[in-house]
Chain A
Amino acid sequence: METPSDRRYTPAHEWVQIVSDDPEGTRVRIGISDFAQDSLGDIVFVDLPEVDRSVEAGETIAEVESTKSVGEVYAPMTGKVAAANAELEDTPELVNEDPYGRGWIAELVVADMAGFDGLLDAEAYAGTLD
């Protein structure tokens, strides 16, 4: 199972990647891990967050539905939704095919990045899967 080292992970099997600096903070991209997509099975619908919505850390910002179940995606940090991956509206299977790339779910602008350092690095996250 793949675990790229250019990003951090949450215990809820999400990844967070720093994209760029933003006037209001730091722009991060989030998605679900290879383990998460594999556990869910074929993904058939992604409920994306609305852009500009403010979200608290831990709040549900998206739902990823497979043929059999519904997985919730939680905001890993407090921030504002800057983008949602509209490509998933018609091709939700991208989350299965490319969970760390084209299957990204949303981008947040985060003012306080303190929470980022508390996330798991690739090695620590991979360790939780053993």
Chain B
Amino acid sequence: MTELLHTPLHELHSELGARFAPFAGYDMPLRYEAGAVAEHNWTRASAGLFDVSHMGVLEVIGADAAVALETVVPSDLAGLSPGTSRYTVLPNDDGGIRDDLIVTRLDDDTFQLVVNAATKDADRAHLADRVGDRVRIDGFLDVGIIAVQGPAAVHVLAAHAPAIGAMVFGEQVNFPIAGVCCRVSRSGYTGEDGFELIVPADRLAAVAGALLADERVAPAGLGARDSLRLEAGLCLYGSDLDETTSPVEAGLRWVIQKRRREEGGFPGEQRILGELADGPGRRRVGLAPTGRRPVRPGTVLLVDGEEVGVVTSGTYGPTADAPVAMGYVTSGHHQVGTELVAAQRGREEPVAVATLPFVPHRYVR
């Protein structure tokens, strides 16, 4: 096995008492001394600080950048205003998903892409292959990313730059935080109001330290991040999305704006447009176990003893105060309230198809 990579905050995590776990090739904090449930609850009540520096940040530059990128993603990028972001996917040629990502237009000719750690090298190679002759691809940038999530996040950051309070969800602006120019976006992966900060790698620890000095902020690890995003109904690439799932099956049809549905011109369009017209064969759904036992990824879902789906994410939701899960079921079994049986480790437990998200989003729009 190759050595695990460290983010620029590894030493800080150790000082904060982190318990580490390998994630996408990185040695990442799973939890700190408070524990995953306390970190989850603190994020919903105040503000959690997450290190997400394992993700990759690229820039795609050129007069032709919007048009070129639209050949690899199904979203409308030509219509994206500078300083705003859009969640999208990189479909493969069969309509599955290579990765999910956030695209931000920095100016007319420059797009910033934030991609997942496990897929970042393949993503860059794919971009070079498909659009490398039309645009310049810079990166990965020598930066780290911290997310500050929760209702207090805006107050914490506005203390450094008051104008941050006027931002809306999906906006990105440069602001000085603790004397360091950061790319600040109002976004996140918890369902809460919050921000993500892209910071030069060598200044990341200083910015994180300044934010943690605010008593409203506590560090939160991957454990809390997983239960927060699952309660918010957000997909984890590699679990809920992969090369076989289409964006339509995944309930991400909203990433394909009207013009792109009409014009097509993206990888996998035959399957994706076909599923938009006729409906997909399976669908991502929320799953609520009726007992207190969490259902785990890989658990098979049955109706009358017949397999109709599989769990792709599952844990205990501290805010829901119940087990929460997501998975895919054959269309027809996807209506909210449908009763299924989860068969795991020789045991059968009832679960019901549930509305996503489990906990309402609190984005500031």
Residue B82 is within 8 A (CB to CB) of chain A in the complex = no
Q: Which residues of B contact A70 (CB under 8 A)?
A: 296
Residue A111 is within 8 A (CB to CB) of chain B in the complex = no
Interface 9-residue window, one of A41-49, A99-107, A116-124: A41-49
Count of chain B residues with a beta carbon within 8 Å of a chain A beta carbon: 17
Report whether B315 and A42 are in contact in the complex, using a CB–CB cutoff of 8 Å: no
Residue A89 is within 8 A (CB to CB) of chain B in the complex = yes
A41: contacting residue among B36, B292, B293, B296, CB under 8 A: B36
Identify which of B19, B294, B323 gathers the most chain A CB atoms within 10 Å of its CB: B294
Q: Which bracket fits the contact residues of A?
A: 10 to 19
**B interface list, Cβ under 8 A from A:** 19, 30-31, 35-38, 223, 226-227, 292-294, 296, 315-316, 323
Q: Which residues of A contact B30 (CB under 8 A)?
A: 41, 68
Q: A44 CA to B38 CA in the complex, in Å?
A: 13
Report whether A45 and B35 are in contact in the complex, using a CB–CB cutoff of 8 Å: no
Q: A89 CA to B291 CA in the complex, in Å?
A: 10
A45: contacting residue among B31, B227, B316, CB under 8 A: B316
Q: Which residues of B contact A45 (CB under 8 A)?
A: 292-294, 316, 323
Q: A49 CA to B294 CA in the complex, in Å?
A: 18
User: A65-B294, A67-B36 given as contacts; is B223 within 8 A of A44 (CB)?
Assistant: no
Report whether A67 and B37 are in contact in the complex, using a CB–CB cutoff of 8 Å: yes
Q: A96 CA to B37 CA in the complex, in Å?
A: 12
Report whether A42 and B293 are in contact in the complex, using a CB–CB cutoff of 8 Å: no
Q: A48 CA to B315 CA in the complex, in Å?
A: 19
Q: A70 CA to B296 CA in the complex, in Å?
A: 10
Identify which of A41, A44, A47 gathers the most chain B CB atoms within 10 Å of its CB: A44
Q: A68 CA to B226 CA in the complex, in Å?
A: 9
Of chain A, the residue at the smallest CB distance from B291 is A45
10 more contacts with CB within 8 A, not counting A42-B37, A68-B30, A70-B296, are A41-B19, A44-B292, A45-B293, A45-B294, A45-B316, A45-B323, A67-B226, A68-B36, A68-B223, A68-B315
Q: Shortest 4 CB-CB distances between A and B: which pairs?
A: A44-B316, A42-B37, A45-B293, A67-B36
- Contacting B at CB under 8 A, from A30-69, are 41-42, 44-45, 47, 65, 67-68
Identify which of A41, A65, A67, A68 gathers the most chain B CB atoms within 10 Å of its CB: A67
Q: A15 CA to B196 CA in the complex, in Å?
A: 45
Give, as a whole number of angstroms, the nearest-CB distance from A14 to chain B: 20
Report whether B294 and A42 are in contact in the complex, using a CB–CB cutoff of 8 Å: no
Q: Which residues of A contact B293 (CB under 8 A)?
A: 45, 47, 65
Q: Which residues of B contact A92 (CB under 8 A)?
A: 292
Give, as a whole number of angstroms, the nearest-CB distance from A126 to chain B: 20
B315: contacting residue among A67, A89, A93, A96, CB under 8 A: A67
Of chain A, the residue at the smallest CB distance from B347 is A47
Q: Which residues of A contact B316 (CB under 8 A)?
A: 42, 44-45, 65, 67
Q: Which residues of B contact A93 (CB under 8 A)?
A: 37
Give, as a whole number of angstroms, the nearest-CB distance from A98 to chain B: 15
22 contacting pairs across A/B (C-beta < 8 A): A41-B30, A41-B36, A41-B223, A42-B36, A42-B223, A44-B292, A44-B294, A44-B316, A45-B293, A45-B294, A45-B316, A45-B323, A65-B293, A65-B294, A67-B223, A67-B294, A68-B30, A68-B36, A68-B223, A70-B296, A89-B292, A96-B35
Q: Which residues of A contact B37 (CB under 8 A)?
A: 42, 44, 67, 93
Task: Mark each residue of chain A from 11 to 22: 1 if its CB lies under 8 Å from any CB of chain B, else 0.
Answer: 000000000000
Of chain B, the residue at the smallest CB distance from A38 is B19
Q: A94 CA to B313 CA in the complex, in Å?
A: 26
Q: Which residues of B contact A96 (CB under 8 A)?
A: 35
Q: A106 CA to B31 CA in the complex, in Å?
A: 29
